[in-house]
Structure 1
């Protein structure tokens, strides 16, 4: 029997909502039921510019979406400073919550959101798109978990950077301390932290040390930063995120027997193709003229882009709760919380003069 179509309300018309509204349209088990903004005019303009179905309702207030009994899910792409109030209210209205990242200003806020979702029996998930049922992520997970191919993971490096440009650095909400106070750490570093946790099978690191000389704007918002993470078993990871550097979206995972590299883990260069490189038991060739065996490129294809796969998975979880009486999946709230813990530790280490910070769950 086909799944029931899950009805999404989009809470605000942020730029990222353009991408996710398309994903909802592409997902086989989801539909856009309502679009809202602070004005009907802006909601109408968003709908016409982004091929929103003509059947979608247009609202001029967030509250009306939450009060619509036909809305199953709210997608919240609002500034981070508004997440706790609107996500909690959505949960109290029995709406499942797909929350844009970074999910909160600090762990206490996120715990408030997660407690509201759990108390009201609704599913929570953050919108870290590459994590959700993408076949490349599944293949990379297989490799990094295979001790015969990669051996013991020893080191991981990730980066997510882009040259945001002068207008962005002056006007975007991600550089405004009252809207998105995490800056590049929340917007780009979130992905790097999640990738570090993914490679470590979601074990939290023991300590974190922020790298010296981060960049800040005049309002004190982070424009670039990095950190090193260390686990009790000796694994280490580093990451770098920036609004000031050419586009990069890299993961390099190094093990005792092999390595994995991917150059577009956040947003694939081609939305239906996901390449990555692996090598196992590499050695220099004769007279060090090259290496043997050479790295192998894996090309993974997908019928749906990763954001549509995310929406599909979320809608499937919601359907399980609505139609089968299942409990909300706890994996995704748990991963959001671990990511937030590490993000908070970066800011603490910076504030303490780049001292090591112990991470306690």
Structure 2
């Protein structure tokens, strides 16, 4: 094991994301290794280690989160905990100088996120949230090919969704205690709101407004679905939608002054080893409006074993390696992206709370 290797601990073993992270580290990353897993239930931690092929000879299994953070061998931690626990334990991890990847949303609101990021910055550790799609080669290709060219022009409107169905009998069990007060806006809205910010070069909107007829709650007040409008002065707008009530959809459509982009699977591609998007530029209706003068062009990006999970881990390991060797400091770009995403989520939630009125940022 070389000095370039990043040694991970996992806080929380009861969610599927943790198994996905183990797969990425153990099968696909040569410069990362898992040395510890921890859960308040030692039995859960043991079962997790066994089911994910983690050898007890090389991986410590702990019955608490504290023991993982106290393990001096650990460079970084992965936190797939429920959102209501993430902020607290991320702050604790920062205090122990552990670099971290935190699932999204990483905190219940912007105030808690600021405390988390301050703990990271003051201790010189790298923070990154788990929005893996930002690391995909397709995302980079769109930026390179469309955003930095004459194909799209100025962004005029963005439409983005993240919906996934929850069984009807389980909807009433969704609670603020588990998801935080933002409910679906935080759990699912992190993606479409993040996609809008990405398309707008991470510029904050001037104001947001939740759409009144779109807000659905269960009997405990947990938000199950919501749409919102985001406005950028002077000409750009966006519509985002998140829901636990609809069929799976992860759509992103960007319309510019000269062209348009469509991505139907931006959160998780249809296939792990490749992904595509479509675009048109200079489109017009033909005479008598019986068709278009151009058809969408499809661009396919082959990634092989370098999935978006691997790309994110590779970037994180690179950043942590630079800090460990003293060559560089923590990259503030990733915390800033998370900060802006959380600010917009909080603004949409505030709009819901005040009767779907305009909230300025």
> Is TM more than 0.5 here?
yes
Partners of 1:278 and 1:112 in 2: how far apart? 41
**Does residue 4 in structure 1 map to residue 4 in structure 2?**
yes
1:257 to 1:64, Cα distance in 2 relative to 1, 3 A: same
Give the secondary structure class of the aligned counterpart of 1:245.
Answer: coil
**Does residue 266 in structure 1 map to residue 267 in structure 2?**
yes
CA shift for structure 1 position 286: 4.5
CA shift for structure 1 position 167: 4.9
**Does residue 113 in structure 1 map to residue 116 in structure 2?**
yes
Do the aligned residues in 1 keep the contact of 2:172 with 2:219 (CA within 8 Å)?
Answer: no
Which residue in the other structure is 2:217 paired with? 216
Which residue in the other structure is 1:176 paired with? 175
Deviates more, 1:80-89 or 1:175-184: 175-184
1:43 to 1:112, Cα distance in 2 relative to 1, 3 A: same
Residues 163-242 of structure 1 correspond to what in structure 2 (within 5 A)?
A: 163-171=165-173, 175-181=174-180, 182-213=182-213, 214-242=215-243
Give the secondary structure class of the aligned counterpart of 1:249.
Answer: coil
Partners of 1:283 and 1:241 in 2: how far apart? 32
Aligned length: 354
CA shift for structure 1 position 53: 4.8
Deviates more, 1:8-17 or 1:285-294: 285-294
Do the aligned residues in 2 keep the contact of 1:28 with 1:312 (CA within 8 Å)?
Answer: no
CA shift for structure 1 position 260: 0.3
Give the secondary structure class of the aligned counterpart of 2:37.
Answer: strand
Q: Deviations over 1:1-59 (max 9, x none)?
A: x8711111000012221212212222221111111111221112112222335522111
Which residue in the other structure is 2:44 paired with? 42
**Does residue 310 in structure 1 map to residue 312 in structure 2?**
yes
Do the aligned residues in 1 keep the contact of 2:137 with 2:308 (CA within 8 Å)?
Answer: no
Do the aligned residues in 1 keep the contact of 2:158 with 2:238 (CA within 8 Å)?
Answer: yes
Which residue in the other structure is 1:291 paired with? 292
Partners of 2:198 and 2:33 in 1: how far apart? 30
> Which ranges in structure 2 are unaligned for 5 or more consecutive residues?
none
TM-score using structure 1 length: 0.94
Partners of 1:52 and 1:331 in 2: how far apart? 33
CA shift for structure 1 position 147: 4.4
**Does residue 255 in structure 1 map to residue 266 in structure 2?**
no
Do the aligned residues in 2 keep the contact of 1:144 with 1:199 (CA within 8 Å)?
Answer: no
**Does residue 22 in structure 1 map to residue 28 in structure 2?**
no
Deviates more, 1:344-353 or 1:13-22: 13-22
Which residue in the other structure is 1:334 paired with? 336
> Which ranges in structure 1 are unaligned for 5 or more consecutive residues?
none
TM-score using structure 2 length: 0.94
